[in-house]
Chains A and B, each alone.
Chain A
């Protein structure tokens, strides 16, 4: 036993082989995703496309080049950001509210963003407009939740979040109700089901920095986040300003969520599923939970999105696939492990 604890100098830290596998997973998934799809592209062609963009001269058809570089690559980047981001946001909310059922939408961020997006589609805005409005309403929803529940404690915040969330859900219904049934209503409905098909380098420029900065911040705070489930007195007596820590965590997680929804609509399940998969495998220590969630989340999202665009001629909304794959897999894990969250 001593040998074992010496090998893992720090409890809760990932071991070197675990880190290697976790880094390998999204890379492997990305490689598969670049090749697979409605049009299968050979590995050598993919390498040639990358070579061309790095300044070499290879013989590749224009069509292949565009499929790999302008279509599949941005989608993969978006998948990594959304999958990793939503998973980390889920971990963070579960910690802040000391509740394993908390999801990135607990404070109304996702509902707010969805309303913003629906409103933008109703007004006939283009993609940048949709993105900005979604982001704005997502952050506003969390701010309103905060104002409503100031000084009412954590359960007060959760309750206010649920109220604000359902308020925005009704507003979405209102928007749908007044929308033009031929063009706008389907557009809004598809958006709400979530899809990464709108991914482009331009849309990434608006959304990606917010996700990257927030995830990075939470990654750096990962050990400190272990203090989140503690009672106020316990947390304070470990010399940490728990209010600031909670605020930073909530702001980062909400920004990630709003930003994800603004780019690809509501992608359900990932924020609940991936953190719990990682908890079962790597334990509840945020030191390992945050990095593993990023890697597993992005891998999961890449695979789901690849399936979404290649399974049938028409794209299947990702939310449907995350739930169809996720729910049985989650139950399988639940049955197998000694679950205690």
Chain B
């Protein structure tokens, strides 16, 4: 299911628009991170996308169907919204809370059936929180509560999941659990859109990003292209360094804020083509759950591929893929990045020392 926003604008007072001509689209299984400073309009954007607030102009489309024209019940069985965590349901148990998420599929006077409570049990298992299912929501930790709210949203079996700062106010471990869950859900085919205060989380998880710039405009694109040092300085007023941290299994991006900056860069530089490189991508998949996503990514740059080898290594219980690619450097970087954010996928790129001097193979 694809979600598209066309020319979306929103304001409470006409003189001070909050959202200006927003355009973006997300396909099945995409993770879109929304970045911007406090008060930039991130939460407003999420509410407008879902129709909780009405666009003043423009629209959100779900597979070419205008969301605002869909009947409530149908809309909320396709989209689920996880608001910023606060405990308004403290008196219910975890299971009861998640069951409430099924209400869009139930008649107004009807009670949930065995089928519904089985679905809830499945979701609790899937998110690994079935141990706390009979605990009261007032007696669980913040991290557990966030997982419960995600479970409640998933109870309606949505195609699009929209999360408002899902990892805020959580500790190190719980942030990781929530982010891993989002990655997992996306690889299961759910489109995830989330607000975050952490540019690093966008760089580690999201294949696409939307950034609110200081002048109220937004830019949207592949995360590796739009979340750059320039853009962060413009958006947050912070000089930051984006670096790579190499772990045995992959290379991860990290953002270190260096100093507060009052300078506004004149223009935003989107990472440009930097010439061609030859590289070998070594990929190890822990299971076959990301097959579809990997094939889709590789297919997207098939005309750059020089060679490709894939084999299951049954003794190790893994699947190994080797890709030799001759492409513009940013294409290779983007491919490696998009592979690395898939759950259970390790990837590293080895580049040839010399950039080959030659023409684009397409010409």
B134 within 8 A of A: yes
Closest chain A residue, CB of each to CB of B74: A239
CA distance A285 to B95 in the complex (A): 11
Name the interface size band of chain B: 35 or more
The answer to whether A1 touches B134 (Cβ under 8 A) is yes
> A240–B103 contact, CB under 8 A?
yes
Do A226 and B96 touch across chains, with their CB atoms under 8 A apart? yes
**Partner among A227, A229, A239, A283 whose Cβ is within 8 Å of the Cβ of B73:** A239
Query: Cβ of B352 < 8 Å from any Cβ of A?
Result: no
Residues on B with C-beta less than 8 A from A230 are 88-89, 100
Residues of A within 8 A of B47 (CB): 233
Question: Are A11 and B88 CB-contacts (below 8 A) given A221-B109, A233-B52, A237-B76?
Answer: no
- Asked whether A239 and B109 contact (CB < 8 A) given A227-B103, A234-B83, the answer is no
B77 within 8 A of A: yes
Task: Tell me the bound Cα distance from A226 to B112 in angstroms.
Answer: 12
Kindly state whether residue A236 has any CB partner on chain B within 8 Å: yes
Is B23 part of the binding interface, using a Cβ–Cβ cutoff of 8 Å?
Answer: no
Expressed in whole angstroms, the Cα–Cα distance for A107 and B188 within the complex equals: 49
The answer to whether A229 touches B136 (Cβ under 8 A) is no
Instruction: Chain B residues near A283: list those with CB within 8 A.
Output: 93
The residue on A at minimum CB distance from B121 is: A5
A340 touches B136 (CB 8 A): yes
Write out the residue numbers on chain B whose beta carbons fall within 8 Å of the beta carbon of A324.
Answer: none
- Chain B stretch 75-100: residues in CB contact (< 8 A) with chain A: 75-77, 79-81, 83, 86, 88-93, 95-96, 99-100
Query: What is the CB-to-nearest-CB distance from A6 to chain B, in angstroms, rounded to a whole number?
Result: 10
Asked if B174 CB lies within 8 Å of chain A CBs, one says no
A9 touches B117 (CB 8 A): yes
Cα distance A241–B103 in the bound complex, in angstroms:
11
Residue B50 lies at the interface, judged by CB distance under 8 Å to chain A: yes
A228 to chain B, nearest CB (A): 10
CA A236 to CA B79, docked complex, whole Å: 12
Q: Which residue of the partner chain, among B50, B91, B100, B138, contacts A238 with CB atoms under 8 Å? A: B100
Secondary structure class of chain A's binding surface, majority of residues:
loop
In this assembly, does B111 line the interface, its C-beta being within 8 Å of a C-beta of chain A?
A: yes
CA distance A295 to B76 in the complex (A): 36
Check A226–B100 contact: CB distance below 8 A: yes
User: What is the CA–CA distance of A234 and B106 in the complex, to the nearest angstrom?
Assistant: 16
Please measure, in the bound complex, the distance between the C-alpha atom of A134 and the C-alpha atom of B40, giving whole angstroms.
Answer: 53
If A230-B89, A238-B156 touch, whether A10 touches B108 (CB-CB below 8 Å) is no
Q: Map CB proximity to B onto A229-251 as digits: 1 under 8 Å, 0 otherwise.
A: 11101101111110000000000
Q: Which residues of B contact A (CB under 8 A)?
A: 47, 50, 52, 72-73, 75-77, 79-81, 83, 86, 88-93, 95-96, 99-101, 103-106, 108-114, 116-117, 121, 133-134, 136, 138, 153, 156
Given contacts A5-B134, A237-B80, 17 further A-B pairs with CB under 8 A are A10-B114, A10-B116, A10-B117, A11-B99, A13-B111, A221-B108, A223-B112, A224-B108, A224-B109, A229-B88, A231-B88, A234-B88, A239-B72, A279-B91, A340-B90, A340-B138, A341-B91
Closest 5 pairs between A and B when the two form their complex, measured CB to CB: A239-B104, A239-B76, A284-B91, A237-B81, A11-B95
